[in-house]
A and B are shown apart, each in its own frame.
Chain A
Amino acid sequence: MIPELGHFALIIALCLALLLALVPAWGTWRGNSVAMALAPSLAIGLLVFVGISFSCLSAAFLQDDFSVKLVASHSNSLLPPIYKFSAVWGNHEGSLMLWVLILSLWTAAVALFSSQLPLLVLSRVLSVMGAIGVGFLSFTLFTSNPFARLLPGAPADGSDLNPLLQDPGLIIHPPLLYMGYVGFSVAFSFAIAALLGGRLDASWARWSRPWTNIAWAFLTLGIMLGSWWAYYELGWGGWWFWDPVENASFMPWLAGTALIHSLAATEKRGLFKSWTVLLAIFAFSLSLLGTFLVRSGVLTSVHAFATDPSRGMFILVFLAVVVGGSLTLYAFRAPAVSSRVSFAWVSRESLLLCNNVVFLVATLTVLFGTLFPLIVDALGLGKVSVGPPYFNAVFVPLMALLVPFMSLGPVSRWKRDAVSRWGRELAIPAAVAVLCGVTLPLLHAPYNVWVALAVLLSSWLVLGLARDFWQRLRSGSDPVQGLSRLTPGYCGMLIAHLGFAACVTGIVATSQYAVEHDLKMSPGESRVLAGYEFRFVELAQVRGPNFVADEARFEVTRDGVFVAALHPQKRRYLASGSVMTEAAIDAGLFRDLFVAMGEPVGSSGAWAIRLHYKPLVRWMWLGAILMAVGAFTAVLDKRYRRQREVVHSSHEAALRGA
């Protein structure tokens, strides 16, 4: 009964989405404010019914309703309840439901938190979001129905959730990722609304900026969680593989970073208006392209869902309509002549332009590299593979190019600045940074030039920011005024850039300094890695809720001092019989120690053991968290709230008949 209810609710949701796409749009065309005013209610109704549908699907999983095909294929009665719930999105159909749920959440959020938007704009924006909803709801209902039943002949128990997914990472990684992916649809909708309205002024940038920042923050967190999850779950210590599905999430992030910086210029100075619109379309198109790549089977990936070319065709058509349509609209409606706003060669605008160029080149490079095997195959030129060696070789230098400019950015002035002023502001930080870059890597043998360079650039960035922060604090006539100059917008920028510096340092340090050894060890043996002694104390048998495991108990010491006890496991899941390795990690701010079990070697109780030493690896993920925190902080800036007060006060003035 419940699955049918869910199915029905989904159909109603599709109808509501259709209404939302068409009625307010017609209202804007005809100037009918009743039709336009329907938009927020329709958006909320959409959320309600999608919510009901999602709840029904979750109920089917939680109640072990194995007559539902999806539950039978991806769940099991022995599964802990929390994984029964997250199994909802551990598959193609369920993850689409999650996509649709999050899209409805964003649509309703825009409907509820946009009191300062003119009704005309709001209805356009919500219509576009409704249209996207129509696409995804149709895709779900017509090709990927999660409520399909297995009657008659429902199995007594399910096939179990893939053990790799039985992990806290699965519970939050996809929702966060989708919040980001789907969140770019808001910026996209604002861009389309601006093009439709024919008025491409700076206000659309001001309205969409908080939404874009939040979406970007979620995407940052989602990617960071995916990387962290792969690191501790997959048992080989890697954290990024440039796999097509990983790239599918990274490309919107790169374009999104260009977008949030471009929006800053558009909001502040009315610059790059049509360029920013194009970026917004680009970022969301990359989200849709990612959806296509992951579900169509055109590229091989460990992360891809069960692929089906007919589903791929549907998404491709949808992609063609949305992206093709928006780019056509852009070609016809964007201003052909750029604004007369000017700025000097040396100014904050030119630095933001540099940022955009680098991120765009990076995005296109990753896109080309990801699609290259497909292009070569489509042209009949054979089969090639493009993997981490290529991407690392081209991507790292690009990012290295970016970091020096990041130090100049926060210090620079709008419209016109002087290199001599930059020199004055940043000379001391630069000198200290050179010192740090040269000396800090000495703390870790052997000396590595790349780490030195990374430390130098990151230190310059951090010190430059610190100096600017200190100056602002001291600039007012009294401390309170100084503090008031530290607006959420400024603090957000500061925190986010600090996060980036931490991230860069972490990535370079861990790539260059990590030590990894595969060794044969028996209980009682001891090996030394990077100054740490790993002693294999004993092998034990343990039992979990739905698995049995061999557990190797390790004791790690350094110079005789106890550091950690690590217990990696080799699990065999009872329902499916599949075997999985569960690595043991001693996490630290400055280094991670990692132990994983391979296979038993011979018959004497020896095992193949992988030992890793990974310095500063956590900085990468902590840096990403900081970036997200920075973005969230920036949204709290009162200029986004002030708009409402202005509107309210002008409303009041109007009411008073002034």
Chain B
Amino acid sequence: MTLLRLLFIAGLVLVAGRALALIETYEFSTPELEARYQQLSEELRCPKCQNQNIADSNAPIAQDLRRLLHQQLELGASDEEILNYMVARYGEFVRYRPRFGGATVALWLAPVLLLLAGIAVLLLTLRSRSKTAVSGTATLSAQEQARLRSLLEKAEQDS
């Protein structure tokens, strides 16, 4: 078997790992712990895989981290403590929900700032457009009004 094929199969296994979705059966002492487990395992990134969380990944390291997560939850650690524990070992890379601090402040503020900027542009545009609208109204004679009405009705029919 050529090296190319070997590499390709390796690549296949890596990708197919996603479809393997190793399903482990951890027992939890309370349903809240299970819910937190599900949520946290979706928030933690598998350090080795091509953009997967540890819940969906089949990689050995993901299995280890899931086991660790289960252990920590049963020991009573809070979400914050667990995340800090993981970050201390694998870096911020392992969090899919970036923390609010340092460089990621820009990330969390960006949508808010963009929305505010958008609203500002919206208001400014509406203001400048409506000014001309106000000054444009002249009075029409009854005949002109009737003609205008029939024209408008015809236009609405066409649209």
Tell whether any CB of A sits under 8 Å from a CB of B in the complex: yes
Binding site for B on A (CB under 8 A): 73, 155, 159-160, 162-164, 233-236, 238, 241, 243-244, 268, 300-302, 304, 340-345, 349-350, 353-354, 357-358, 360-361, 364-365, 368-369, 372, 376, 379, 381-390, 393-394, 398, 415-416, 484-485, 487, 489-490, 516, 518-520, 576-581, 596-599, 601, 608-610, 639
Chain A residues lying within 8 Å of B115, measured Cβ to Cβ, are: 361, 398
User: Quick check: A164 and B107 within 8 Å, CB to CB?
Assistant: no
User: Quick check: A386 and B133 within 8 Å, CB to CB?
Assistant: no
B-side interface size class: 35 or more
Nearest CB of chain A from residue B82's CB, rounded to whole Å:
15
Nearest CB of chain B from residue A102's CB, rounded to whole Å:
25
Which label, helix, strand, loop or mixed, suits the secondary structure of the A interface? mixed
Nearest CB of chain A from residue B93's CB, rounded to whole Å:
4
A416 to B134, CA, bound (A): 10
Asked if B19 lies at the interface with its beta carbon under 8 angstroms from chain A, I say yes
A243 to B52, CA, bound (A): 9
Nearest CB of chain B from residue A366's CB, rounded to whole Å:
10
Q: Which B72-96 residues sit within 8 Å CB-CB of chain A?
A: 91-96
Binding site for A on B (CB under 8 A): 2, 4-5, 8-9, 12-13, 15-16, 18-26, 38, 42-43, 45, 49-53, 55-56, 91-98, 102-104, 106-108, 110-111, 114-115, 118-119, 121-122, 125-126, 129-133, 136, 156-159
User: Quick check: A302 and B110 within 8 Å, CB to CB?
Assistant: no
User: Quick check: B20 and A354 within 8 Å, CB to CB?
Assistant: no
Nearest CB of chain B from residue A463's CB, rounded to whole Å:
22
Q: How many pairs of residues, A versus B, come closer than 8 Å at their CB atoms? A: 185
User: Quick check: B92 and A387 within 8 Å, CB to CB?
Assistant: no
Query: In the complex, which of the residues B20, B25, B43, B50 contacts A519, with contact meaning CB atoms closer than 8 Å?
Result: B25
Question: Given the known A-B contacts A302-B52, A576-B9, A639-B158, are A596 and B96 also in contact in the complex, defined by CB atoms under 8 Å?
Answer: no
Chain A residues lying within 8 Å of B55, measured Cβ to Cβ, are: 236
Chain A residues lying within 8 Å of B19, measured Cβ to Cβ, are: 163-164, 233-235, 580-581
User: Quick check: A578 and B93 within 8 Å, CB to CB?
Assistant: no
Chain A residues lying within 8 Å of B21, measured Cβ to Cβ, are: 234-236, 581, 596, 598, 610
Beyond the given pairs A342-B132, A343-B129, A387-B43, 19 more chain A to chain B contacts, judged by CB atoms under 8 angstroms and listed by A's residue number, are A164-B19, A236-B55, A243-B51, A302-B18, A302-B50, A342-B129, A354-B122, A357-B118, A384-B92, A384-B103, A393-B97, A487-B159, A516-B38, A520-B25, A576-B9, A578-B16, A579-B16, A598-B21, A598-B23
A416 to B129, CA, bound (A): 11
Chain B residues lying within 8 Å of A518, measured Cβ to Cβ, are: 23-26
Query: In the complex, which of the residues B42, B92, B136 contacts A382, with contact meaning CB atoms closer than 8 Å?
Result: B92
Chain A residues lying within 8 Å of B45, measured Cβ to Cβ, are: 385, 387
Chain A residues lying within 8 Å of B43, measured Cβ to Cβ, are: 387, 389
Closest Cβ neighbor of A389 among chain B residues: B97
Chain B residues lying within 8 Å of A341, measured Cβ to Cβ, are: 129
A609 to B115, CA, bound (A): 44
Chain B residues lying within 8 Å of A581, measured Cβ to Cβ, are: 19-21
Nearest CB of chain A from residue B159's CB, rounded to whole Å:
7
Nearest CB of chain A from residue B100's CB, rounded to whole Å:
11
Query: In the complex, which of the residues B18, B108, B119 contacts A164, with contact meaning CB atoms closer than 8 Å?
Result: B18
Interface centre among B51, B52, B56, B106 (most CB of A within 10 A): B51
Closest Cβ neighbor of B137 among chain A residues: A416
User: Quick check: A608 and B52 within 8 Å, CB to CB?
Assistant: no
Closest Cβ neighbor of A237 among chain B residues: B21
User: Quick check: B51 and A350 within 8 Å, CB to CB?
Assistant: no
A416 to B130, CA, bound (A): 9
Chain B residues lying within 8 Å of A353, measured Cβ to Cβ, are: 122, 125-126
Question: Given the known A-B contacts A354-B122, A361-B111, are A342 and B131 also in contact in the complex, defined by CB atoms under 8 Å?
Answer: yes
User: Quick check: A599 and B111 within 8 Å, CB to CB?
Assistant: no
A520 to B25, CA, bound (A): 6
Closest Cβ neighbor of B5 among chain A residues: A159
6 closest cross-chain pairs (CB), A and B: A598-B23, A387-B96, A389-B97, A342-B132, A357-B118, A342-B133
Query: In the complex, which of the residues B42, B97, B129 contacts A349, with contact meaning CB atoms closer than 8 Å?
Result: B129
A182 to B38, CA, bound (A): 39
Query: In the complex, which of the residues B23, B94, B157 contacts A385, with contact meaning CB atoms closer than 8 Å?
Result: B94
Query: In the complex, which of the residues A268, A360, A390 contacts B118, with contact meaning CB atoms closer than 8 Å?
Result: A360
A301 to B42, CA, bound (A): 16
Nearest CB of chain A from residue B98's CB, rounded to whole Å:
5
User: Quick check: A244 and B12 within 8 Å, CB to CB?
Assistant: no
Chain B residues lying within 8 Å of A519, measured Cβ to Cβ, are: 25
Chain B residues lying within 8 Å of A164, measured Cβ to Cβ, are: 15-16, 18-19
Nearest CB of chain A from residue B58's CB, rounded to whole Å:
9
Chain A residues lying within 8 Å of B132, measured Cβ to Cβ, are: 340, 342
Question: Given the known A-B contacts A342-B129, A345-B130, A357-B119, are A369 and B94 also in contact in the complex, defined by CB atoms under 8 Å?
Answer: no
Query: In the complex, which of the residues A243, A386, A597 contacts B98, with contact meaning CB atoms closer than 8 Å?
Result: A386
User: Quick check: A385 and B56 within 8 Å, CB to CB?
Assistant: no
A551 to B102, CA, bound (A): 50
A235 to B17, CA, bound (A): 11
Nearest CB of chain B from residue A657's CB, rounded to whole Å:
30
A243 to B49, CA, bound (A): 13
Nearest CB of chain A from residue B153's CB, rounded to whole Å:
10
A485 to B156, CA, bound (A): 8
Closest Cβ neighbor of B2 among chain A residues: A155
User: Quick check: A159 and B8 within 8 Å, CB to CB?
Assistant: yes
| 27 A-B pairs with C-beta separation under 8 A | A73-B4, A155-B5, A159-B8, A162-B15, A164-B15, A164-B16, A164-B19, A236-B21, A300-B50, A301-B50, A353-B125, A364-B114, A369-B107, A382-B92, A383-B93, A385-B94, A385-B96, A385-B98, A387-B43, A387-B53, A390-B107, A393-B97, A394-B111, A490-B159, A576-B9, A598-B21, A608-B24
User: Quick check: A162 and B12 within 8 Å, CB to CB?
Assistant: yes
Chain B residues lying within 8 Å of A369, measured Cβ to Cβ, are: 107
A340 to B121, CA, bound (A): 18
